[in-house]
Amino acid sequence: MADHRHHLSSLWWNFWETQAIPEKGVPSIKTTDGPNGVRGVDFEGSTRAACFPAASSIAATFDTDIARSVGRALAEEARSKGASCLLAPTLAAQMISGVQSLGVAATIKHFVANEQETDRMTVDEEISERALRELYLRPFEIAIKEAAPWAVMSAYNKVNGEHCDGHKFLLADVLRGQWGWKGLVISDWGGTNSVDDSINHGLEIEMPGPARVRKTDAVLEAVREGRVTEAAIDERVRNILVFLERLRAFEGATPTTERAIDRPEHRKLIRDAGARGIVLLKNEGDILPLSPAKVQGKKIALIGLAKDALAHGGGSAGVNAHYKVAPYDALRTALGDAVELTYAKGFHRERLLPAISKDDASVGTVVGLDGQTGFSLSFFEPSDLSTPVSTQHGLEKSAYSPLGSQESIWKVLEIVGDFTPPNPAATSSPPRQGNYSDPMGVLFNAQTEEEFRYDFDAGKTYRIRIQSHPPSNVGLKILEGRTGMRMGFGLASVYDADLLGEATRVAQDADYAIVFTGHDPQWETEGRDQESFNLPRSGSQDALVSAVAGVNKNTIVVNSTGVAVAMPWLDQISALTQTWFPGQECGNSIADVLTGAVNPEGHLPASFPKRVEDAPAHGNFPGEYVDGKLKVKYAEGVFVGYRHYDRLPKEKLNFAFGHGLSYTSFDLGNLTVAKSSDDVYTVTLNVTNTGNLEGGTVAQVYGGKVEQREDHPVKALVAFRKVRLQPGEKTTVELTFATRDLGYYDEAAGQWVVDAGKYKVSLAKSAAEVVQEVEIDLEKLLYASALDIIYVHQSDFSSEFGRDRHHEVLHIATLNLVDVVPIGDITHTPRR
């Protein structure tokens, strides 16, 4: 093994592939994003791919079979892109199992506590060990022990003063030590911050390559000075080689050619999974479903984002989908000609004005320096701005991204075009300037741009010149010297239109009004947290819903976001669905639920509060700057999500964790709890479909101490099961949970503890709707950090270590349902 040591930092990554070492017989492999679709190598104009529902949508299905099926489909997509390592998921054991069942590596990310985007590269998070163990590490622990992902990606942030990529406690003590995990740890892009700590504590590969922090000279110097041990390097190299062996990379060349394969079975899976993740939150008077027979001869107004296919979020979640189906088109197909559909835009959705496109004649024409359509792009040396080093013509837009190219490194850029507007006035935004708190986020349009207005003369030609600043160190080594820029543009005649008035008139003239609200990839994206708990833009969506509801009593809201949002209009509307980001079939999935082709069966995987002020992290997020560095204290501890709202009056919530309605009705009951082994309880219960339609619901089982303590949550979800039944059908469900699931982490003892006493096991339809409870008595149990069981009798504190436990239990983290993140702008928001 020692003869490979000097190659540790030579096994570098370009943006997606490892570098082969032919003289040592080490092949390269290709990685690819991402969580809800396999994008391929290019950020701009990447190979088309299937776009699957986002993690929040899959979580809302509470269906482990769907999660596994999506994982298998993602593995198939990875193969079609020539990749053998998928940079996903952001949790979920079942999805990992699905991916790796086809021999593709799953990379669970981001380890750990990557819960906010504000200063995500450098923010220092102060988190108690108890909160880490019970909330932020727990989903990773479950996924690693149940599904054994072949790779883990470290997070950008610091935890308690140490960067995650070199964190001894997280990587060496917990992940590799207590959990006994032997896989590959890779950094997030540009997320390697040390030579010594990262190698000694467990980070195999710096991403992307070539190495900028762990250069060969830096590693050799660290070895000579005794800061890095040869044993640590041997272990890092061994894990890399084992990883390549798992991928069968030594068996021959793996094709890396990217293919766009639009599989019919993927289309079907995406449509079904997207529909089953939709949560029916409100349905007064059974206004839904709008079946074709029910609405025949009626007029339905589709307002807002009806013609927008909100399939995914921004940043790493972006996918160049094979196609995207908008709700307007899907409903027209589903309802046919017997229903009249009208449309009104209602509000402007853009956070950033769109770049000028050479192909958009509605905003004007653009001619480059060569006299042809498009912009000209020139590159200058910073020392000489008089003569360009090179010039390209035919640039599509008034924007340039430096990702994936070498031509812009340490150059000053200039975009030039002769612009002729068709109208006399326009509004625009200046080229992006300066703020590099998250330079990677800038590349995903995650910066704020000021707008200004300029009066043009119609038909007159204006020369537009956009020039970048001289390149500099932007705070992220992989982007050093890279330069990009953009300028947005929009016609004032468009942005000054009375969209709200038009929508109100259309709604007033309809039998039903469906308002489509939500976030597009600009508003919910990597690199920035939510600007507000309210829907964008500047209150326009909230105003639209209230205005429409004021003139049409049959107002239905379809909200597409990955997070909870404020709903000040909730009492004014008749029905509400939360659709998340359902993937490329988003319109069809939504139409299936609205028309009743699919009975909604989703349940909320997060709590939806009424006010941001009642969120658990309010006042803590995003932290305070100390000596120029952001520090955030997780002062809420373990009281996040329903654990927090269980201690507040119910009126603080719009909707509780686990809430979800159906077009049919269900009865849950006959709960029994029995001890089936030393550490496992078996729960049985009955579920009956008491309505007239086939449908699905989620049986939720919670556990908590009868005698409440101020420092412990009232209850925690310990098991769940999705159940689908025909009308009148009844079934018995059997679930299991571990005794440890009733416990807590004792920091002083360094152990998991289940106190002796009486516990309530509750059967519920949501965290706020318990339908039956059973009490059980427990002796005190302690668990060592490595999860061996220590039995402690109340009268005898002598201990005996038992064997590692392996029980079949449907953990909530299997579907990323920890409810750590009830809202997007004021709690710690995970990347999606």
Separation between Cα atoms, residue 232 and residue 203, nearest integer Å: 10
Taking the C-alpha atoms of residue 8 and residue 441, their distance in angstroms, rounded to an integer, is: 29
Distances in Å between the Cα of 369 and the Cα atoms of 386, 388, 389, 674, 797 are 16, 13, 15, 79, 84
Element (H, E) at 246: helix 230-246
Q: Which of 33, 119, 188, 438 is catalytic?
A: 188
DSSP secondary structure of 120-187:
TTT-EEE--HHHIIIIISHHHHHHHHHH--SEEEE-SSEETTEEGGG-IIIIIIIIIIIS---SEEEP
- Residue 535 vs residue 405, higher pLDDT: 535
For β-strands 279-283 and 299-304, DSSP reports them as unpaired
Q: Is the model's pLDDT at 795 over the cut of 60?
A: no
Q: What is the per-residue pLDDT across 544-563, written as a single tens digit (0 to 9) for each?
A: 999 999 999 999 999 999 99
> pLDDT tens for residues 142-177?
999 999 999 999 999 999 999 999 999 999 999 999
CA–CA dist 376, 396 (Å, integer): 9
Residue 129 is predicted with a pLDDT of 98
Q: Is 301 helix (H, G, I), strand (E, B) or coil?
A: strand
Instruction: Characterize the bridge pairing of strands 788-791 and 512-518.
Output: unpaired
CATH architecture of the region 665-815: Sandwich (2.60)
pLDDT tens digits, residue range 694-707? 999 999 999 999 99
Task: Residue 732: name the closest of 807, 773, 682 by CA.
Answer: 682
Domain boundaries, the chain: 2-250, 365-487, 665-815
Is 817 strand, coil or helix? coil
- Cα separation of 343 and 582, whole Å? 22
Question: At 386, is the secondary structure helix, strand, or coil?
Answer: coil
Alpha-carbon torsion, ordered 278, 817, 89, 629, to 10 deg: 110
Average pLDDT of the residues of the chain = 88
Strand runs (DSSP E) across 246-387, as ranges?
279-283, 299-304, 340-344, 365-367, 375-380
What confidence tens digit (pLDDT) does each residue in 757-772 have? Answer: 999 999 999 999 999 9
In the numeric block, which tokens belong to residue 523?
Answer: 């508003």
Structure token pair of residue 584 = 């490329």
- For 216-251, the pLDDT digits (tens) are 999 999 999 999 999 999 999 999 999 999 999 999
CATH of domain 2-250: 3.20.20.300
Whole-number Cα distances in Å, 304 to 293, 530, 773: 25, 20, 44
Residue 438 neighbours by CB under 8 Å, 6+ apart: 117, 119, 120, 121, 446, 527, 528
Specify the 3-state DSSP secondary structure of 329: helix
Residue with tokens 């550490």: 679
Higher confidence at residue 823 or residue 755? Answer: 755
Expressed in angstroms, the distance from the first to the final Cα of the chain is 38
| Spatial distance between the Cα atoms of 252 and 255, rounded to a whole number of angstroms | 10
Instruction: Please name every residue paired with 655 in a beta bridge, in sequence order, or none if there are none.
Output: 608
Q: From residue 336, how far is each of 126, 332, 333 by CA, in Å? A: 56, 6, 5
Buried b (16+ CB within 10 A) or exposed e, 152-168: bbbbbbbbeebbbbbbe
pLDDT at 827: 31
pLDDT reading at 59 higher than 70: yes
* Residue 471: pLDDT band with limits 50, 70, 90: confident
Q: CA–CA separation, 290 vs 280, rounded Å?
A: 13
The set of residues, in sequence order, having a beta carbon less than 8 Å from that of 433 and lying 6+ positions away, is 469
| Residue count of the chain | 832
- Cα–Cα distance, 737 to 679 (Å, whole number): 8
The yes-or-no answer to whether 2-250 and 365-487 have a common fold is no
Q: Which residues contact 603 (CB under 8 A, 6 or more apart)?
A: 60, 62, 279, 658, 659, 660, 697, 698, 700, 766
Cα 573 to Cα 554: distance, rounded to the nearest angstrom = 7
- Residue 9's pLDDT band, with cuts at 50, 70 and 90, is very low
Is residue 429 a contact partner of residue 464, using CB atoms and an 8 Å limit? no
**Known active-site residue 188:** yes
Higher pLDDT, 538 or 606: 606
Cβ atoms of residues 431 and 485 within 8 Å: yes
Longest distance between any two alpha carbons in the chain, whole Å: 92
Q: pLDDT: is 832 or 648 the higher one?
A: 648
Q: pLDDT at residue 793 above 70?
A: no
Residue 383 has pLDDT above 50, yes or no: yes
pLDDT of residue 214: 94
What's the average model confidence in pLDDT over 183-193?
95
Average pLDDT over residues 256-281: 96
Which architecture characterizes domain 365-487 according to CATH? Answer: Sandwich (2.60)
Of the CA atoms within 13 Å of residue 272, those in its CB half-sphere come to 12
Q: Tell me: the pLDDT tens digits for 565-600?
A: 999 999 999 999 999 999 999 999 999 999 999 999
Nearest alpha carbon to residue 365 among 422, 414, 429: 422
Percent of the chain with pLDDT over 70: 89
Type of residue at 33: D
Do residues 783 and 753 make contact, with C-beta atoms less than 8 angstroms apart? yes
Give phi and psi for 2, each to the nearest 5.
-65, -30
- As a three-state string, the secondary structure of 97-119 is HHHHCCCCEEEEEEECCCCCCCC
In contact, 134 and 637? CB cutoff 8 Å: no
Q: Which residues pair with 158 in a beta bridge?
A: 124, 163
Cα separations (Å) of 723 from 656, 661, 698, 720, 762?
A: 20, 14, 6, 10, 17
- Whether the Cβ atoms of residue 271 and residue 585 lie closer than 8 Å to each other: yes
